[in-house]
Amino acid sequence: MERCAIVGSGLAALTAYATLRHGGIAEEEIAVFGTHEDPTEVWRARADAIRQRRMRSESDGHVAAASWPGLAVRDGRPSALWGTLANRYHPSVELFLCHAEGVRERSGWARSFRARRVERIAAVDGGFELDGEGPFRHVLVATGHPGLATPEPYASDPRGVHAYAPHEYGDKVAVVGAGMAAATEWLNALASGAEVVSIRRREPLRRPLNAPRPLFSRRGLAPFHALGAERRAARLRELSAPSYPPGRAWDEPIACAEREGRFRVEHTPNGATQIICATGFRRGYAEDPLLARLVADHDLAVHDRWILVDPDCSVPALTDASRTLALAGIAAQWAYPAADTVAGAKYAARAFLRACRTR
């Protein structure tokens, strides 16, 4: 029986693989099932689509197993080192991707990777079979977001394009949404000379990270884990509110465009020649065919759109002293609210490593 399997081939999967290897698990003991041999491919394409140049994460937002050295140290500039002391350093996308490529090459990822989409996970004695292959004693499911969300009526509008799909900018651009991708697209379109209309249901929050900073620590997570199901779900809905960082780099271009009459908030596209849907991803386990089938086949406990997992991201009904079934990425949000960040990937990866060592 092979020891571990990772289902998925994105950044969360790479983080988990690097963590397992750093923890002493040999590459021949790990199988990675996925559709992209390059684990940065999908993320890179989305970052390219919105012309993202800086990460929202900070120095420790990298995919290596050990926190040190962070990306500020790899950057090497004195301003990067000083900036990280005040939580003001945000690495470039180029640096992040270069680092991820180095982790992939050094970890042995290519030797464990199997180009295959897993459609069914079945619990068997002592482990799990993946489409009949296995059994694997420990399995981490890191399949990422289930797909882009394009709300009606924009999905059928010929002017419409999702922010994470390749696109240029028209002369009058309506941007639907109010989160990080939307704010980035406001600036992109304004820089191209366009007039921009922001279509939003609510005003965005201004916070540096995807979630409040305490929720990235174990101490801050303890009150969250103590919440009952309904209150925890309500908290997760609150945290899904659109947000982008505070700062002059965001505010000054928008304020200048408002004075020039090139930026305003409206409820409809109002004559826009292009509609960019910066509306993120479809939400919930039911939108992911593999997770939906896993829930149905094993009658897993769920609440609203979340699979109920323990604080270590394991699925309690399928985890015991001899085996582990755990989730990573957005599917693990019940355990870690910022699960779709690199920090969330590390949280799940380290818990999975502990399970592989002790069970």
DSSP assignment string, 95-124: HHHHHHHHHHHHHTHHHHEEE-----EEEE
Distance in Å from the first CA to the final CA of the chain: 14
**Above 90 in pLDDT, residue 197?**
yes
Q: What is the pLDDT of residue 137?
A: 96
What pLDDT was estimated at residue 86?
82
Q: Among 154, 161, 151, which residue's Cα sits nearest to residue 189?
A: 161
Instruction: Report the pLDDT averaged over residues 117-140.
Output: 95
Residues of the chain above pLDDT 90, percent:
91
Given a cut of 90, whether residue 173 has pLDDT beyond it is yes
Write out pLDDT tens, residues 5-45. Answer: 999 999 999 999 999 999 999 999 999 999 999 999 999 99
Q: Is the pLDDT of residue 262 over 70?
A: yes
Structure confidence at residue 2 (pLDDT): 60
Helix H or strand E encompassing 6 = strand 2-7
Confidence category of residue 358, pLDDT binned at 50, 70, 90: confident
Residue 359, pLDDT > 80, answer: no
If you average pLDDT over residues 77-102, what whole number do you get? 92
Measured in residues, the chain has a length of 359
Task: Say what the pLDDT of residue 28 is.
Answer: 94
- Average pLDDT for residues 111-127, to the nearest whole number? 96
Q: For residue 133, is pLDDT > 60?
A: yes
Report the pLDDT value the prediction gives residue 253, as an integer from 0 to 100.
97
Element (H, E) at 162: strand 160-162
* pLDDT of 332 over the 60 cut: yes
d(CA 325, CA 61): 25
Question: Where does residue 131 fall: left (phi above 0), alpha (psi -120 to 50 degrees), or beta otherwise?
Answer: left
Q: What is the dihedral of CA 175, 177, 179, 182, to 10 degrees?
A: -10
pLDDT of residue 84: 87
DSSP structural state of residue 285: G
Averaged pLDDT, 221-231: 97
Structure-block tokens of residue 201: 């249901």
Instruction: Determine whether 81 is exposed, middle or buried from the number of CB atoms within 10 Å of its CB (0-12, 13-18, 19+).
Output: middle
Mean pLDDT over 126-137 rounds to: 94
Question: Phi/psi zone of residue 282: left (φ > 0), alpha (ψ -120 to 50 degrees), beta?
Answer: beta
What are phi and psi for residue 347, nearest 5 degrees? -60, -50
Q: Report d(CA 271, CA 306) in Å as an integer.
A: 38
Residue 290 CA to residue 287 CA, distance in Å, equals 9
In whole angstroms, what is the distance from residue 140 CA to residue 32 CA? 10
Model pLDDT, residue 199: 97
The average pLDDT across 215-221 equals 93
The whole-angstrom separation of Cα 93 and Cα 99 is 10
Q: What is the mean pLDDT of residues 272-296?
A: 97
Question: Using an 8 Å Cβ cutoff, are 331 and 129 in contact?
Answer: no
Picking from 50-59, 67-76, 242-251, 272-281, which range would have the lowest pLDDT averaged per residue? Answer: 67-76
Count how many Cα atoms sit within 13 Å of the Cα of residue 273 in the half-sphere of its side chain. Answer: 8
pTM (2 d.p.) = 0.95
H or E segment at 141? strand 133-141
pLDDT tens for 307-325 read 999 999 999 999 999 999 9
pLDDT at 249 (0 to 100): 95
| Measured distance CA(308)–CA(334) in Å, rounded | 6
Going along the chain from its start, the domains and CATH numbers come out as 2-147+282-358 (3.50.50.60), 154-204+242-277 (3.50.50.60)
Residue 71's contacts (CB-CB under 8 Å, 6 or more residues apart) are 59, 60, 61, 62, 80, 89, 91, 95, 96, 99
87 pLDDT band (50/70/90 cuts)? Answer: confident
